[in-house]
Structure 1
Amino acid sequence: MGRPTRAVRAAITQRRADAIDLKLAGVDWLTIGRKLAADPSINSDGVAYPQGYGIDTYKRGDEPPTDSRLIELACKDVSKALAERSTVLDDSADELRKLMVERLERLFFGVYRSAIRNGDLQAVDRAVRIIERSSHLLGLNRPVRTEVSGPDGGAVQVETTGLEELQRLIALAGDPGEGGQG
């Protein structure tokens, strides 16, 4: 099987976008699967969704996908679409980061000359701030180590509880008469 045509790829991209839109609207996985199914006999709209789920079996006249297969396909579509969007966002963020660093470099050279030639303390302060910002954008700063401590700098006290205590607390949370939210 060769690479899908441009039209097929566009239809799959649209299907994935539709799957994300439906999931964002709170639609359950099976309903998404049925709405985007290729076979009109299981499609919730009664139409053949272009490049829908089970398109190959539909074209061959075979049985349509099961409910569990429709759920699996819908989940896979949403995951792939989100991964693709994330990659695009990462690429865009990288491009923007490069642009911002370039701008900071241009600002830095003007401020740096003034700081070095004239001993201008305000320019020195500006140069240091530009360096700090560039370092932050480029990820050159080391992570800050954070320590958590208990009262008066002592050790943090950790308590464990048994299943019975957890069940009691859950019951309390569900009982409005006991200060719960339920």
Structure 2
Amino acid sequence: MGGRPTRAQRAAITQRRTDAIDLKLAGIDWLTIGRKLAADPSLNSDGVAYPQGYGIEAYRKGLEPPSDGRLIELACKDVSKALAERGTALDDSTDELRKLMAERLERLFFGVYRAAIRTGDLQAVDRAVRIIERSSHLLGLNRPVRTEVSGPDGGAVQVETAGLEELQRLIALAGDAGEGGEA
């Protein structure tokens, strides 16, 4: 290619990656995906030059097409990159959705807040508090909850250690109990 790909080339590469994911989701093996998306018609399972397919530069220069191993590598790489790009897009979409939901909650809050302040309506107060709680949760403003484990009567938890022989005895007892024996 020599330099940055053109807009058309980027679009073709994006389509190739989408096709690679679709083929993999359909249960197609890596080599078949590589051949299906190869630029060289002699390798391509459809007998056509796939646009921006694997080995496109070698094909344009009349060089040897990629080996089966290289086709597999390229197909795996395409699927990995496409999934990473989709993950990034999903993260970005999630952030946008979070902002939208926060805006909606804020608009709801102001209407309920006015009613709660003006009239002292307890249902409006309760609703305002619930919207605040939901907004805090959505935006991650709540502190983590600290949990402590305690033993009987709030005392320390007793921890016992056992040797290998004791563990083997307990395992044997558990096995006997599972077979209908007494533990």
Whether the TM-score (by the shorter chain) exceeds 0.5 is yes
Structure 1 partner of 2:82: 81
Match of 1:107 in 2: 108
Q: Tell me the CA shift for residue 145 of structure 1.
A: 5.3
TM superposition shift of 1:142:
3.3
Q: Aligned partners of 1:55, 1:107: CA distance in 2, in Å?
A: 55
Following superposition, the deviation at residue 84 of structure 1 comes to 1.5
**Shift in Å at residue 93 of structure 1?**
2.0
Q: Deviations over 1:20-71 (max 9, x none)?
A: 1001101111110111011112111222111100111111111111111111
- 1:130 maps onto 2:94 in alignment: no
TM-score (norm 2): 0.76
Gaps of 5+ in 2: 151-156, 161-183
Tell me the equivalent position of 1:26: 27
Q: Contact 1:19–1:74 (CA<8 Å) still a contact in 2?
A: yes
Distance in 2, Cα, partners of 1:109 & 1:91 = 27
Q: Give the CA RMSD over aligned residues.
A: 2.7
Quick check: 1:148–1:156 contact (8 Å CA) kept in 2? no
Pairing of 1:1-182 with structure 2 (within 5 A):
1-144=2-145
Measured in 2, the distance between the counterparts of 1:27 and 1:147 equals: 50
Alignment-mate amino acid for residue 88 of structure 1: A
The match for 2:166 is: none
- Mapped partners of 2:127, 2:66: distance in 1: 64
Q: State the AA in 2 paired with 1:110.
A: G
Determine the C-alpha separation between the residues in 2 that align with 1:23 and 1:148: 47
| Structure 2 residue identity aligned to 1:92 | S
State the TM-score, normalized to the length of structure 1. 0.76
* Per-residue deviation, 1:155: 7.8
Kindly tell me: are residues 93 and 50 of structure 1, through their superposed partners in 2, closer, same or farther at Cα, counting changes over 3 Å? same
Letter of the aligned partner of 2:34 in structure 1?
G
Question: 1:86-131: per-residue Cα shift (whole Å, max 9, x none)?
Answer: 2222222222211111111111112112222322211111011101
Code of the residue aligned with 1:41 in structure 2: it is: S
- Asked if the contact 1:29–1:75 (Cα under 8 Å) also holds between the matched residues in 2, the reply is yes
Residue 144 (structure 1) shift: 4.3
CA displacement at 1:138 relative to structure 2: 0.9
In our comparison, the structure showing a higher alpha carbon Rg is 2
Partners in 2 of 1:129 and 1:137 — Cα distance? 12
Q: 1:167 is matched with which residue?
A: none
